[in-house]
Chains A and B, each alone.
Chain A
Amino acid sequence: MTTFTTTTPGVDRRGLRGLLPRGARAITSTSIWGAVLLVVLLVPVLQLPPIFSAALLLTIIYIPAAVGQNLIIGNAGLLAMGQAAFVGVGAYTAGILAVRFEVDGSIAILAAVLLSAGVGALVGIPALRISGDYLFIVSLGFNLIVMDVARNWVDVTGGATGLTGIPTLTLFGMDMGVGQTFYFSVLVMVLVSLVVVQAITSSRFGLTMEAIRDDEAAAIASGIRPAGPKVQFFAIGSALAGLSGALLAYNLGYVGSGSFDVSDSLLIFQMAVIGGLGRITGSILGAFIIILLPELLRPLQDYRLLLAGLVIVILMILRPEGILGKAKITNLIKK
C-alpha cells in the first residue's frame, strides 16, 4: 500500500511556488536565489556591522550540515537526528590535525569530511535493519556517545576545556586570515559542496534513492538493492556535517564539546524540516531562519529553541512538508 498521502498534486512537488502561476515559478526561484547569493557576496564589501557578518558566516557554515540532514531524512527517508555528532567529528578532526600536526587546512578539512563519512556509514548500517522511530532513537544515542567521548577522551579532545589554539585557516600554504578572505573561502567551499549535492540528487543515483524511500518493495522488484544507496546517503549526509564542523573549528579557533549536543542536533534537524524535506534550497532557508534570524534579533536569543519549536508546530499544522519541501515528515515516522 502507498504510504505517501500527498494531497493537492503538483503543489507538493513545487513547494510554495506551486501557489504561483506556472510562468512565475521559474522566475521567482532563480531571482530569489540569485538575490540571496548577491547579498551573501556583497556582505563583506558593504562594511555591515560585524555582528551581522559574523551571524551570516555562522549561517553559511551550518548550511552543509542542514543539507546533509535533509539528504538523510528527505531524500533517503531515514529518520535520524544526530547531525551535531558528525559536526563534532569534523570539528575535532580538523582541530586536532591543525593544532597537533599543523597540517594545511585543505588536508584537515578533507580528513574531517572523510572521517565523518566513514563514521556516518558505520551508523548507517543499523539503518538497514531498523527504521522509523527506532532509527531516530539509535541516532540520538550515537550523539550522546560522541558527546561522552569528546568530554572524557581528554588527551585527544581536551575534554571539558576543549581544544584551543586552532590557527587561522591556511589553504595550500596561503593564510586566509579572519576577515573577507576567510569569509569567501568558506563561501566557496560551501557552494562547492552544494554543487556536489545537486549533482548527486539530480542523478540516477539520487533518483534511485528517492524510489527506495517512496516504496522499497517496488524498488526491489525493479532490481534495485536498497542497502547501498541507504548507507551511501547516510555517509554523504554525515560528510556534509563534517565539513560544517571543520569550518566551524577554523571559524571559532576553538572546539568545545558544548557545540555538538543533542540540542544542536535538534537545531540542525529543524533547519531541514522547516525549510522543507527533499529540497536543498529549503535547508538553506532553514539555516537562515534558525541561525541568522535569532542572531540578528538579539533579544530573542534566549528563546531560540522555543521560537524554532513554535515555528515547527505551526508549520506542521499549516504545511507539513516544510516551506519549500516535497515530502511530509509524518510519512517517515509511520513506517
Chain B
Amino acid sequence: MEQAVAVQAPHALGVRGLVLKYGGVTALAGVDLVVPSGAVVGLIGPNGSGKSSFINVVSGAYRGPYSGEVAIDGRDVRSVPAYSRADAGLSRIFQGIRLFDTLSVEQNILLGAHSRYRSGYLASVLRTRRARAERDEQRQRARAIMATFGDRLLPRADDQVMSLSYANRRRVEIARALMPEPRLLLLDEPMAGMNPHETEELTDHLLDLNRTAGTSMLLVEHKMGVISDLCSDVYVLDSGTVIAHGTAAEVQADDSVIEAFLG
C-alpha cells in the first residue's frame, strides 16, 4: 500500500542530465538522480567527485549556468532563488555547522520557520495580534521539535549556541532545518566530527523522522555504516558521473566503486 502512494506522489527530488562546467573543468557530466518521495537516498564519492557542486545546484547556492532538469517535489526550481527553495519544500544542513552564533538555541530554531510566517516584518515590529499568534505557534513547534532530541536541547533553549557541544550544535541545525516541515532534507555529512555513539543516536533520529514524518532525504556521508543503515538507494559519484547506483551492499561490491575509492 505504501508503495502505491510512493509511485503516485512526485519525486522529492528529480535531477536529469545535470551538466555543470566551471570554465574548462567539468564538475558534473550529466547526472541523473532521483529521491523518491519518502525515501532516504545516499550520495557518496571521493573528494572532488562533484558532490558539493551537486548539493549547491539543488540548494540554489550555485547561481552560475548549468544545463539539465532540477525538480523539488515535482516543481521545476531552476529559476527559484535559494531563499525561496525553503518554500518549495527544501531544507538543508551544511557541511561543517552553520548556525547563527550570537543567538540562542531557541532563536536559531525559530528562524528556521521563516517561510511559514504569513505576517510580515512590519507586523512583527507592531506586535499585531496575528504576528503574536504566529510567533506563539512557531515557538510551540520549536519546543516540540526540541523535545524529539530528549533532554539535549530543551534545557539549553536559552543558551547561546556557541556554548553548546559540537553534537548539540548539529542537533540545533537539524532542528532548524525541520521547522519549515521540509519535503526534502539535504544532509551534507551530518555525522562528520561525531563519535560512534552520537553517530548512532543521530542515525536513529533520522530514521525515526523518516518513518513518522515521511521526510525524504538526500544524504552525503563518508561513513559507509551510516549509509547502509539509512539509505534504501545509493548513488556513487566519480569525476562528475554516476558510476554506480543500487543498494548499499550492491554499490560496495561494485568493482568500479572500489577502484574509484581506492585507486
Contacts and interface: CB of A to CB of B under 8 A. Distances in A.
Contacts of B59: 221
B152 to A, nearest CB: 17
A121 B124 CA distance: 21
Contacts of A232: 121
Contacts of A208: 111, 114, 121
Contacts of A6: 101-102, 160, 162
B84 A10 contact: no
B92 interface: yes
Interface string A1-45: 110101001101100000000000000000000000000000000
Most buried by A among B61, B85, B101, B160: B101
Interface of A: 1-2, 4, 6, 9-10, 12-13, 199-200, 203-208, 210-211, 214-215, 217-226, 228-229, 232, 278, 326-327
B110 A4 contact: no
A98 B87 CA distance: 49
Given A219-B111, A222-B112, A327-B102, A200 B125 contact: yes
Interface residues of B, number: 44
14 contacts: A1-B96, A2-B98, A10-B163, A204-B121, A204-B131, A206-B125, A210-B102, A214-B103, A217-B61, A218-B98, A221-B98, A222-B115, A226-B83, A278-B102
Nearest to A13: B160
B131 to A, nearest CB: 7
Contact of A224 (B111, B122, B179): B111
A211 B108 CA distance: 8
A225 B120 CA distance: 13
A210 B87 contact: no
A222 B125 contact: no
Given A208-B114, A228-B121, A215 B98 contact: yes
B90 to A, nearest CB: 9
Given A6-B102, A9-B160, A10-B160, A203 B114 contact: no
B124 A215 contact: no
A205 B99 contact: no
Q: Which 10 A/B pairs are nearest by Cβ-Cβ distance? A: A223-B86, A9-B163, A223-B115, A204-B124, A205-B121, A214-B100, A218-B98, A4-B101, A203-B124, A225-B83
B180 interface: yes
A114 B61 CA distance: 36
Contacts of B159: 9-10
Contacts of A228: 121
A331 B179 CA distance: 29
Contacts of B176: 222
A204 B117 contact: yes
Contacts of A204: 110, 117, 121, 124, 131, 135
A199 B127 contact: yes
A223 B180 contact: yes
B107 interface: yes
